[in-house]
Structure 1
Amino acid sequence: MKLIERYIAREISLPFMVVILILIGLFASFSSARLLAGAVTETLGIAALLKLVFLKTLIALEVLIPIALYISVIIGLGRLNKDQELNVIRSVGVSGTRIVLTVLTVAIPVGIASGMLSSYVRPWAYAESYILDAQAEAELNTNRFQAGRFYGSEKTGRVVYVRSKSDVDQGMQNIFHYIKKPDSSEIVIARQARQIQPTAEELRPHIQLSEGVIYQLTNAASIDEVIQFENMIYFIDNDFVLNYRRKAAATRTLWESDQPRDIAELQWRISRPLATILLALIAVTFIRTTPRHDKTDRTYLIAALIFAAYYNLTGLAKTWVEQGVVGSMPGVWWLYLLMFVVLGIYALISKRRRFPRPS
């Protein structure tokens, strides 16, 4: 890469590093505040909270990285334009096409990194964050219980009482569990209980009860059932699990699926590099070589509106595939093809206006 191209690439890369750090800091702060407001620390503790914020930030990087590159291209080229450096660069024989190719030398590696994060890091982060979320949401999470207190839920009709609890392994002793169902009631009394950590394969939170009795009380039956057990695994039903299985699934698993929702998730992941490069090219169109008519504030406003419209369209394209409105082909690709065609036509029409040769 020649000196001028390196200079332009540096003017884009430096703002990119600053903007991505700012966005990560803002997102992590927002996530921390939201989790603290939900009393997650009381259930999981500070260490788990920090891990959960880290995982959610990793998930968000697939969106934060394209945004940061989009902003950095506008900032970097905008400064060169405002200081008339683009005119000087053009005067030494650097064409507008070479400037666009220089932007691509930054956008392509960033896009590849975004695609790798989306295809491999994001599913892992979703699986790990789900495990922590499930522990926090679980009504029978042993970490949230204190000895000698009743815990109830009006939503599920569940009541739990723990007589004593170990501070070492968080194991519970002498547990009473009651749940009201539409046509029956169930009482579980156990001598001991301990939380079983869910895995990425199982995902559902559950606890192990030992030395207990189950009383099943039904409204229709004349004789109630009594079941004694030595050990029993008690699963906690949670709709939260189903929403995350697809996002936590491996990319190879989605590739072998023919379900519309799996196809939409797969195409979303592998389209991240294209989305990143496309946003960088859109950002180039905001640059003007007429510094006397500087309209920076207006440019940023229009750029923000275009990004919002673009991001909503990508979400719409994915939703259409999920709902079967659009098949796996063209899938979400029609949007990116359309945008590249529009950019190509725009480049042909405004080629001489964008980077005119100095008179």
Structure 2
Amino acid sequence: MPHIERYIIREVIRPFSFVLIILVALFACFSSARYLAEAVTETLGVYFMGILILLKTFIALEVLVPIALYTSVVIGLGRLHRDREIVALNAAGAGNKRIIGPVMVVSIPIALAVGALSLYGRPWAYENSYILDARAKAELNTDRFQAGRFYGNEDTGTVIYIAGKDRTSGEMSRVFYYTRKGEVSEITAAVNARQDESLQDGRLRVSLDDGLVYRLQRYSMEDEVATYEKLIRFHEDPEVSIGYKRKAQATPDLLESDMPQDIAEAQWRLSRPLATLLLALIAIPLSHSSPRQGKNERVFMAALIFAVYYNLSGVAQTWVEQGVMDEIPGVWWLHALMALVVSLYLFQRFYRRLLQGFT
């Protein structure tokens, strides 16, 4: 490979790794803050919350990697423009082909990786994240609960409140436990409670002292009240079911479906490699800058174009989901339009000569 091409490849790859690391770190921090605010650690624990963050970050790579590539092309080629190196290449007879080639050498492997991630990694990560999310909502492990807060699950109809908790022993005081089974609601109140070691069959055992149990019938007056000095409750491991989630479905299954939502999801996955290549190509003209043009102005324009393109991608997918747009053109009209704009700009000399040939 000629020295010029290797030099351009190096200028593009160098900022790519740095930008990708920054984006991944920012997304992981954002996800961590959101899950901490939702108190996920109190239901799943720190370890599984970390796994959930990793899965969400892995899913986000199909967007973060194209952003990093797009930004790296703008930054790398922008520096060459700023230092007048591109001008020197053009003066030596090297046109856009000498720039497009190295950019494609970098972009094509990255686009293939994004495609594999979107087609195969995305459904796997979504399936596991849905399972962890469902487990976080279903599991009620009192060892992770804090005093003065309500914990509940709408699916199982369970609510727990702990007024006080000893941080050393884990013993709880003034405990309120509500559960609903069919037409019967049961309320258990206890002065003290503690969670014992898990049994060998995986069940949790909670011991309650000095309290009352109310069994309330929804459609009859046959309510019951009982007092106790010691009561033991067993909690089964929740059966986690995520139901049908199209984002977790395998790509071949989506391609066989005739549901608009499934078609939109399949087209989104299939379009990710193409979108990655188009972003890399549109970044080439965006990297052009004059010596008097500020760096921030170029970056702002690049960010604006990416935001418009990405939001239009979401709109195109929504139109397919809602049946506004048929399977053909589906989401492809946007990428075709983008490809036309890119080709008109990058190969304007060719089109100019072509038009001159007809005149």
Q: Structure 2 length normalisation: TM-score? A: 0.75
Unaligned runs of 5+ in 2: 163-175, 189-195, 206-213, 224-233, 353-359
Structure 2 CA distance for aligned equivalents of residues 296 and 80 of structure 1: 12
CA-CA distance at 1:154 after TM superposition: 9.7
Pairing 1:143-154 to 2, within 5 Å after superposition: 144=144, 153=152
Q: Where does residue 339 of structure 2 map in the other structure?
A: 340
Structure 2 CA distance for aligned equivalents of residues 114 and 154 of structure 1: 37
Structure 2 CA distance for aligned equivalents of residues 276 and 41 of structure 1: 35
For the 8 Å contact 2:255–2:266, the answer to whether it is kept is yes
Whether 1:314 aligns to 2:323 is no
Pairing 1:211-290 to 2, within 5 Å after superposition: 219-220=218-219, 241=242, 245-288=245-288
AA of the residue aligned to 1:275: A
Q: Where does residue 297 of structure 1 map in the other structure?
A: 296
Pairing 1:1-359 to 2, within 5 Å after superposition: 1-138=1-138, 140=140, 144=144, 153=152, 158-159=158-159, 178-179=178-179, 184-187=183-186, 219-220=218-219, 241=242, 245-288=245-288, 291-349=290-348
For the 8 Å contact 1:19–1:72, the answer to whether it is kept is yes
CA-CA distance at 1:76 after TM superposition: 0.4
The alignment partner of 2:291 has SS state of helix
Structure 2 CA distance for aligned equivalents of residues 253 and 81 of structure 1: 47
CA-CA distance at 1:193 after TM superposition: 12
Q: Where does residue 200 of structure 1 map in the other structure?
A: none
Structure 2 CA distance for aligned equivalents of residues 219 and 62 of structure 1: 50
Unaligned runs of 5+ in 1: 163-175, 196-205, 210-214, 225-230, 354-359
Residue range with higher mean Cα deviation, 251-260 or 69-78 = 251-260
For the 8 Å contact 2:45–2:144, the answer to whether it is kept is no
Q: Structure 1 length normalisation: TM-score? A: 0.75
Aligned length: 319
Structure 2 CA distance for aligned equivalents of residues 44 and 35 of structure 1: 11
The alignment partner of 1:35 has SS state of helix
CA-CA distance at 1:14 after TM superposition: 0.9
Percent sequence identity over aligned pairs = 50
Structure 1 CA distance for aligned equivalents of residues 219 and 15 of structure 2: 70
Query: Aligned-residue CA RMSD in angstroms?
Result: 4.0
Residues 159 and 48 from structure 1, CA distance in 2 versus in 1: closer, same or farther, beyond 3 angstroms? Answer: closer
Residues 178 and 348 from structure 1, CA distance in 2 versus in 1: closer, same or farther, beyond 3 angstroms? Answer: same
The alignment partner of 1:131 has SS state of helix
